[in-house]
């Protein structure tokens, strides 16, 4: 039957939905299983009644009513919940038309996006309102003239370089605190300040300053061993090691460091982060480096196997994003690195050098501090000074237990949330993006965070697909838009769409070639005809997740960072930490974060160094609304008075009305429904799209089950309405009975979920930059003693490594 736009098309079906399991063998276990299954079936037959969702009046298990089939197994009758529209008499033209068609074809059922949705549990009065009073940024440079880089102890040449070449006029508050301390003192330090407050320079500047001082006239003359011409050279020794959890972050730190060292080009920095031949890394180490930026795995490897890596002179060990390093299970490696550094220091006597710390100093850096960071501190930090942006918070005695400071978002960041019923999630995201990019110059770049790699892949294709099917030929065999070419990267903003599609740049060639090795047909950068407006014809979508090959990740990120066209980055949490991407105006948390600190890091990609920014989070009605209290914790007033609640209807109305067009009544509902139908048809007709949608749905539900224990009350996978949620993936039914591996065929919601939960233990991963796949779902497992915890973490990682390819969650 041709698809006529009807959403549901159930046949009552004579055939059983699944085949009977065959019990082989005559062992007691086989018999027991057979017995239990038959008992279970009998039970179902006796007790099966339609379960009515008390909140909505709809059937609790996706509106499905069980019926007995010939073989005694439950089968489904047509779904009827959504035929009953909440506005049966009136409704929009499209709804009336759908109802009429529905009457004509009794076996077909129309599903409306706008009926039987769960309603919000909060009254609007509880939800706060936008505060129009301007808020002073909390992470901006201190431009009052009282503090300058020189007054903090940096040399004039370095301060001049900062101003002239990097356009940095004054330090930020955390830089003030850290530079003052680290330039003069040699104690270990913990640098904690909110996102986008310049923590990277806060630890780099004192290190560079002190190494530069070694070359000051006369300083080195007493140390002929290190000195040929009164200057430090690359073979004078490795003085500092900086560890960061991802390759992207290491590259970013290395870029900042190189820009600093342009005023002291005799000091040489380098990276060992994997992703290239070890031979080349060894060659670099052999030539000598003064500052090394590394991922822990790769450094540990070189410490064990690379003779030429000499660490006896190391005076600084910096752990950037220390809490993340811990979450990713690097603890054991870091412990090993610290031990190696100490061993080598005892074997080879450290040469005292004036100006450098007499012993190795460890500096930890993070916006969020929790117990696990303190544990990491126990490994390597001795009597650490806790440095915070606000001097009133300083705790010279050691790391304090100020939990709240780990939850503060930049004060100028405007946060809001939208309560969206599961069925309307996709159209609401679409509406929000349409609206956001409707006007020229309103939003330059946005990041959309979703829960898993499969979901990134699916949503990328949803927006990058061509809307009209006859565009398939021009859009490529798979129906997806082509990789964007020059129009995206040459940054002139004027190139037309056709031209931009025909030319592929070197960067994107690399991305495409690297893609071909793993996923042959998936570009990572595309123009998005489904969302473009006349004001923004070159709106570009980029996707990023840990399952993409490293060269693709690097190229995609670079293309997004460089682009001067309005752009969207659709990504997993792989982009949530530390990345400093320019001009991000909006962060959308389409899927809520997996922990409160993930939330802070995600939204911290905007509102950096004093700039404005907005963040929006999607919450579903019910338990998820409880997350509002976590959002409020990020405010300095402790109650989040300026946290704004947006209604999904308003977002939809504004998004689907189109700019300047005011539609009559609720015509925007029709437009939204048409948009959804179009995507659903695409998912039905395009085999690959259907596969993407089902994989995304399954992975999303599995990932949902990995919220930290403390937040599972709000994100309870057992109460997810799986049927309604399917609509958010443009599926007309949830994949349970579509033969998706990992889900029981035709299982009831509860059973599916428990099954899902079991699997999810191995699920959602982060990537440490390609060295390994990591598991982080259980990072709040209580740790009894260090060694055991590290072992546990390692075991989970290994468990995950085995599962990573199957679940493809990054
Ligand atoms: N003193 C300064 N004046 C102006 N801009 C600065 C200053 N210091 C740093 N920046 C800029 O601020 C941006 C953010 O810096 P950085 O990435 O170090 O922040 P962060 O605190 O480490 O953030 P996150 O916690 O997200 O990793 C960078 O683009 C950097 O160039």
Q: 568 C-alpha to center of ligand 1: Å?
A: 22
The structure tokens listed for 637 are 């007033």
Q: Which domain does 706 fall in, by range?
A: 411-467+522-659+666-732
CATH number at residue 577: 3.40.50.300
Instruction: Take atom 30 of ligand 1 and give the residue whose Cα is closest.
Output: 198
Is ipTM > 0.90 here?
A: yes
Q: What is the mean pLDDT of residues 586-597?
A: 94
User: Using CA positions, which residue lies closest to atom 27 of ligand 1?
Assistant: 578
Give yes or no for residue 298 having a pLDDT over 70. Answer: yes
pLDDT at 602 over 80: yes
Same domain, 366 and 230: yes
Instruction: Name the residue with tokens 């190795």.
Output: 360
- SS3 state of residue 455: helix
Mutate to test the pocket of ligand 1, among 164, 169, 201 (most ligand atoms within 8 A of CB): 201
* 795-808 average pLDDT score: 37
Residues in CB range of 621: below 8 A, 6 or more apart: 117, 118, 119, 120, 121, 419, 420, 421
Q: How far is the CA of 215 from the centre of ligand 1 (A)?
A: 28
286 vs 778: which has the higher pLDDT: 286
Task: Output the pLDDT for position 734.
Answer: 80
Binning pLDDT at 50, 70 and 90, where does residue 484 land? very low
**Could you read off the pLDDT of 109-143 as tens digits, one per residue?**
546 888 888 888 765 555 556 666 778 899 999 98
pLDDT on residue 660: 55
How far is the first Cα of the chain from the last one, in angstroms, to the nearest whole number?
38
- The answer to whether residue 484 is domain-embedded is no
Q: Which atom of ligand 1 is nearest to the CA of 582?
A: 29
Centroid of chain to Cα 737? 30
Residue 442 and residue 374 share a domain: no
Return the SS3 of 176. Answer: helix
Probe target for ligand 1 pocket from 200, 256, 260, 587, with the most ligand atoms within 8 Å of CB: 200
- Specify the higher pLDDT residue, 233 or 690: 690
- Distance (Å, rounded) from C-alpha 377 to C-alpha 364? 8
Distance 166 CA to ligand 1 centre (A): 12
Does residue 544 sit in the same domain as residue 629? yes
- Closest atom, ligand 1, to C-alpha of 366: 25
Same domain for 363 and 420, yes or no, is: no
As a whole number, mean pLDDT of residues 499-517 equals: 37
Pairing of strands 413-419, 613-619: parallel
The residue from 694, 711, 732 where one domain ends is: 732
Does any domain span residue 127? no
Phi and psi of 645, rounded to 5°?
-105, 130
Using CB distances shorter than 6 Å, the residues near ligand 1 are 141, 168, 171-172, 175, 193, 195-201, 367, 578, 580, 604, 608-609
For residue 655, the CA-to-ligand 1 centroid distance in Å is 34
- Alpha carbon of 725 to ligand 1 centroid (Å): 39
- Position 601 scores a pLDDT of 95
Q: What is the pLDDT of residue 170?
A: 95
Q: How far is the CA of 541 from the centre of ligand 1 (A)?
A: 25
User: How confident is the model over 321-368, as pLDDT tens digits?
Assistant: 988 887 767 888 888 898 888 876 665 566 667 778 888 899 999 888
Q: pLDDT confidence of 39, banded at 50, 70, 90?
A: low
Per-residue model confidence as pLDDT tens digits over 530-572 = 788 777 888 999 999 988 988 899 899 999 999 988 999 999 9
Cα separations (Å) of 706 from 595, 694, 703, 709, 803?
10, 19, 5, 8, 15
d(CA 672, CA 677): 9
Which value, in Å, is the radius of gyration of the alpha carbons in the chain? Answer: 29
428 in Cβ contact with 648 (< 8 Å) = yes
Which residues does residue 75 pair with via DSSP β-bridges, in sequence order? Answer: 67
Q: Does residue 95 lie in a domain region?
A: no
**pLDDT at residue 289 greater than cutoff 50:** yes
* CA 431/CA 450 separation, integer angstroms: 17
Ligand 1 center to 292 CA (angstroms): 20
Q: Which atom of ligand 1 is nearest to the CA of 193?
A: 21
Token pair recorded at residue 347: 């074997």
Rounded to an integer, what distance in angstroms lies between the CA atom of residue 290 and that of residue 299?
15
Q: What does the pLDDT read at residue 496?
A: 29
Residue 252 is predicted with a pLDDT of: 95
Sign of the Cα torsion 171, 174, 180, 182 reads negative
pLDDT score for 775: 33
Total structural domains in the chain? 2
How many residues make up the chain in this entry? 810
Answer whether residue 575 is part of any domain. yes
The pLDDT > 70 percentage for the chain reads 61
Cβ neighbours of residue 779 closer than 8 Å, sequence gap 6 or more: 326, 327, 372, 595, 708
Ligand 1 mutation target, pool 143, 147, 196, most atoms within 8 A of CB: 196
- 141 CA distance to ligand 1 centroid (A)? 9
Instruction: Give the residue whose CA is nearest to atom 22 of ligand 1.
Output: 199
Q: Counting Cβ atoms within 10 Å, is residue 479 exposed (0-12), middle (13-18) or buried (19+)?
A: buried
Mutation probe of ligand 1 site: the residue of 609, 610, 634 with most atoms within 8 A of C-beta: 609
Rounded to 10°, the helix 550-562/247-261 angle is 50
pTM attached to this predicted model = 0.76
Instruction: Tell me how far the alpha carbon of residue 609 lies from the centroid of ligand 1, in angstroms.
Output: 6
Ligand 1 atom closest to residue 166's alpha carbon, by position in its atom list: 31
Residues 419-478 pLDDT 10s: 999 999 999 999 999 999 988 777 789 999 999 999 999 999 999 987 544 344 333 323
**Which of 580, 583, 604 gets mutated to test ligand 1 (max ligand atoms within 8 A of its CB)?**
580
What value does the mean pLDDT take over residues 574-581?
Answer: 90
Query: In this predicted structure, what is the pLDDT of residue 707?
Result: 87
Same domain, 335 and 450: no
Number of Cβ within a 10 Å radius of residue 157: 12
* Of the residues 352, 387, 422, the one at which a domain ends: 387
328 and 267 assigned to the same domain:
yes
Kindly state whether residues 422 and 462 are assigned to the same domain: yes
Does residue 46 sit within a domain?
no
* Mean pLDDT, rounded, of the chain: 72
| DSSP symbol at 113 | T
In three-state secondary structure terms, 581 is: coil
Residues 448 and 366 in one domain: no
Beta strands in 499-621 (DSSP E): 525-527, 540-544, 567-571, 584-589, 613-619
Digit-coded pLDDT (tens) for 76-116: 434 433 433 334 445 556 556 655 555 544 444 546 888 88
CA of 30 to the centre of ligand 1 (A): 63
Residue 759 is predicted with a pLDDT of 33
Task: Specify if 165 maps to a domain.
Answer: no
Nearest CA to ligand 1 atom 6: 198
Q: Tokens 């074997």, residue?
A: 347
pLDDT the model gives residue 120: 82
Given 3-state DSSP classes, what are the helix, strand and coil percentages for the chain, each rounded to the nearest 5?
A: 45, 10, 45
Shared domain check, 700 and 572: yes
User: For residue 365, which atom of ligand 1 is closest to its CA?
Assistant: 22
Is the pLDDT at 717 greater than 90, yes or no?
no
Atom of ligand 1 nearest to the CA of 578: 27
Query: Does 435 lie in the same domain as 364?
Result: no
Mutate to test the pocket of ligand 1, among 150, 174, 198 (most ligand atoms within 8 A of CB): 198
Per the DSSP assignment, residues forming a β-bridge with 191 are: 365, 387
> Residue of the nearest CA to atom 9 in ligand 1?
198
- 482: Cα within 13 Å, side-chain hemisphere: 21
Q: Please say if the pLDDT value at position 271 is more than 90.
A: yes
Span 729-762, pLDDT tens digits: 999 888 765 443 444 444 333 333 433 433 333 3
Beta strand spans in 642-701 (E): 644-647
**What is d(CA 605, CA 612) in angstroms, rounded to the nearest whole number?**
11
Name the residue among 242, 199, 205, 609 with its Cα closest to residue 387.
Answer: 199
Q: Which atom of ligand 1 is nearest to the CA of 252?
A: 17
Pairing status of strand 361-366 against strand 189-192: parallel
Helix (H) / strand (E) element for 773: namely strand 773-775
Query: Does pLDDT of 9 surpass 90?
Result: no
Residue 36's pLDDT band, with cuts at 50, 70 and 90, is low
Residue 473 lies in a domain: no
Residue 527 Cα to ligand 1 midpoint, Å, equals 30
Distance 254 CA to ligand 1 centre (A): 14
Decide if pLDDT at 296 tops 90: yes
Domain co-membership, 287 together with 426? no
Question: Three-state SS string across 669-685, please?
Answer: HHHHHHHHHHHHHHHHH
CA of 371 to the centre of ligand 1 (A): 25
What is the 603 CA–ligand 1 centroid distance (Å)?
A: 15
Among 700, 732, 764, residue at a domain's last position: 732
227 pLDDT tier (thresholds 50, 70, 90): low
Ligand 1 centroid to residue 192 C-alpha, Å: 13
The HSE-up count of residue 570 (CA atoms within 13 Å, CB side) is: 26
Quick: pLDDT tens for 645-693.
998 999 999 999 865 555 566 788 999 999 999 999 999 999 999 999 9
- pLDDT > 90 fraction of the chain, expressed in percent and rounded: 38
Is the pLDDT higher at 502 or at 303?
Answer: 303
451 within a domain of the structure (yes/no)? yes
Please give the Cα distance from 763 to 699 (Å, whole number): 8
Ligand 1 atom 4: residue of nearest CA: 168
Of ligand 1's atoms, which has the minimum distance to the CA of residue 609?
A: 12
Given a contact cutoff of 8 angstroms between Cβ atoms, the answer to whether 575 and 569 are in contact is: yes
418: tokens are: 């939208």
| Strands 567-571 and 445-449, sheet pairing | parallel
Ligand 1 centroid – CA 607 distance (Å): 11
Nearest in space to 625 (alpha carbons), one of 336, 761, 421: 421
**Looking at ligand 1, which atom is closest to the CA of residue 174?**
21
pLDDT at 167: 96
Kindly tell me if the per-residue pLDDT of 784 is higher than 80.
Answer: no
Q: Is the pLDDT of residue 152 over 80?
A: yes
Q: What was the pLDDT predicted at 15? A: 34
Pairwise CA distance, residues 104 & 349, whole Å: 90
| 141, β-bridge pairs | 172
Q: Considering only residues 367 and 292, tell me which one the structure prediction assigns the higher pLDDT.
A: 292
Q: When comparing pLDDT for 299 and 393, which is higher?
A: 299
Same domain, 377 and 416: no
Instruction: Give 285 Cα–ligand 1 centroid separation in angstroms.
Output: 28
Q: Rounded to an integer, what distance in angstroms lies between the CA atom of residue 244 and that of residue 250?
A: 6
Nearest to 478 by CA among 528, 427, 521: 521
289: Cα separation from own chain's centroid: 33
Residue 156 has pLDDT above 50, yes or no: yes
Atom of ligand 1 minimally distant from the CA of 256:
31
């Amino acid at each position: 039957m041709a698809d006529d736009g009807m959403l549901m098309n159930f046949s009552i079906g004579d055939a059983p939905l699944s085949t009977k399991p065959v019990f082989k063998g005559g062992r007691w276990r086989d018999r027991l299983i057979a017995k239990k299954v038959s008992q279970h079936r009998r039970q179902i037959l006796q007790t099966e009644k339609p379960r009515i969702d008390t909140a909505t009046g709809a059937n609790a298990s996706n509106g499905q009513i069980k019926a007995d089939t010939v073989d005694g197994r439950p089968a489904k009758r047509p779904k009827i919940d959504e035929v009953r529209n909440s506005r049966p008499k009136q409704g929009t033209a499209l709804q009336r038309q759908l109802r009429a068609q529905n009457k004509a074809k009794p076996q077909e059922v129309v599903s409306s996006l706008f009926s039987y949705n769960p309603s919000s549990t909060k009254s609007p009065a509880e939800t706060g309102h936008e505060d129009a009073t301007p808020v002073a940024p909390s992470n901006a440079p201190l431009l009052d003239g009282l503090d300058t880089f020189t007054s903090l102890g940096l040399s004039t040449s370095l301060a001049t370089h900062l101003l002239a070449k990097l356009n940095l006029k004054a330090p930020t508050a955390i830089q003030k605190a850290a530079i003052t301390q680290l330039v003069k003192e040699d104690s270990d330090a913990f640098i904690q300040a909110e996102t986008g407050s310049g923590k990277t320079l806060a630890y780099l500047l004192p290190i560079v300053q002190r190494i530069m001082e070694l070359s000051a006239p006369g300083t080195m003359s007493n140390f002929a061993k290190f000195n040929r011409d009164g200057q430090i050279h690359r073979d004078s020794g490795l003085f500092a090691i900086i560890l960061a959890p991802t390759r992207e972050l290491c590259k970013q730190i290395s870029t900042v460091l190189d820009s600093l060292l342009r005023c002291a080009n005799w000091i040489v920095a380098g990276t060992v982060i994997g992703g290239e031949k070890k031979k080349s890394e060894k060659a670099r180490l052999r030539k000598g480096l003064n500052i090394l930026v590394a991922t822990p795995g790769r450094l540990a490897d070189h410490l064990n196997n690379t003779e030429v890596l000499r660490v006896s002179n190391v005076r600084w060990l910096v752990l950037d994003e220390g809490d993340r390093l811990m979450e990713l299970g690097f603890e054991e490696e870091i412990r090993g690195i610290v031990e190696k550094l100490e061993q080598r220091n005892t074997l080879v006597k450290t040469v005292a050098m004036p100006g450098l710390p007499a012993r190795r100093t460890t500096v930890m850096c993070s916006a969020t501090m929790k117990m696990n960071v303190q544990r990491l501190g126990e490994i390597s930090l001795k009597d650490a000074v806790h440095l915070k942006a606000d001097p009133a918070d300083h705790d010279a005695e050691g790391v304090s237990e100020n939990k709240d400071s780990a939850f503060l978002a930049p004060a100028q960041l405007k946060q809001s949330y939208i309560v969206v019923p599961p069925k309307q999630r996709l159209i609401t995201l679409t509406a929000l993006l349409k609206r956001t990019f409707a006007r020229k110059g309103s939003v330059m770049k946005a990041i959309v965070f979703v829960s898993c790699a499969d979901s990134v892949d699916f949503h990328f294709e949803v927006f990058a697909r061509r809307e009209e099917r006859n565009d398939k030929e021009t859009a490529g065999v798979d129906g997806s838009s082509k990789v964007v070419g020059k129009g995206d990267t040459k940054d002139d903003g004027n190139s037309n769409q056709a031209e931009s599609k025909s030319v592929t740049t070197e960067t994107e060639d690399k991305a495409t070639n690297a893609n071909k090795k793993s996923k042959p047909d998936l570009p990572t950068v595309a123009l998005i005809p489904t969302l473009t407006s006349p004001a923004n014809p070159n709106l570009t979508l980029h996707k990023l997740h840990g399952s993409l090959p490293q060269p693709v990740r690097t190229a995609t990120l670079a293309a997004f960072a460089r682009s001067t066209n309005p752009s969207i980055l659709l990504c997993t949490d792989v982009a949530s930490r530390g990345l400093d991407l320019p001009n991000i105006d909006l962060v959308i948390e389409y899927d809520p974060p997996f922990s409160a600190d993930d939330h802070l890091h995600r939204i911290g990609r905007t509102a950096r160094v004093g700039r404005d920014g907005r963040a929006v989070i999607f919450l579903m009605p019910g338990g998820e609304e409880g997350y509002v209290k976590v959002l409020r914790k990020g405010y300095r007033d402790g109650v989040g008075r300026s946290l704004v609640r947006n209604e999904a209807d308003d977002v939809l109305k504004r998004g689907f009305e189109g700019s300047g067009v005011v539609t009559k009544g609720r015509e925007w509902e029709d437009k939204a429904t048409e948009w959804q139908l179009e995507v659903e048809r695409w998912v039905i007709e395009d085999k690959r799209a259907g596969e993407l949608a089902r994989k995304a749905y399954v992975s999303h539900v599995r990932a949902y089950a990995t919220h930290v224990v403390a937040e599972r009350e709000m994100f309870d996978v057992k109460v997810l309405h799986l049927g309604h949620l399917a609509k958010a993936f443009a599926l007309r039914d949830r994949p349970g009975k579509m033969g998706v591996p990992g889900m029981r065929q035709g299982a009831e919601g509860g059973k599916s979920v428990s099954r899902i939960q079991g699997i999810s233990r191995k699920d959602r991963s982060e990537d440490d930059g390609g060295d390994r796949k990591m598991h982080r779902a259980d990072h709040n497992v209580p740790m009894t003693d260090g060694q055991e915890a590290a072992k546990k973490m390692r075991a989970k990682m290994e468990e995950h490594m085995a599962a990573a390819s199957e679940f493809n969650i990054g």
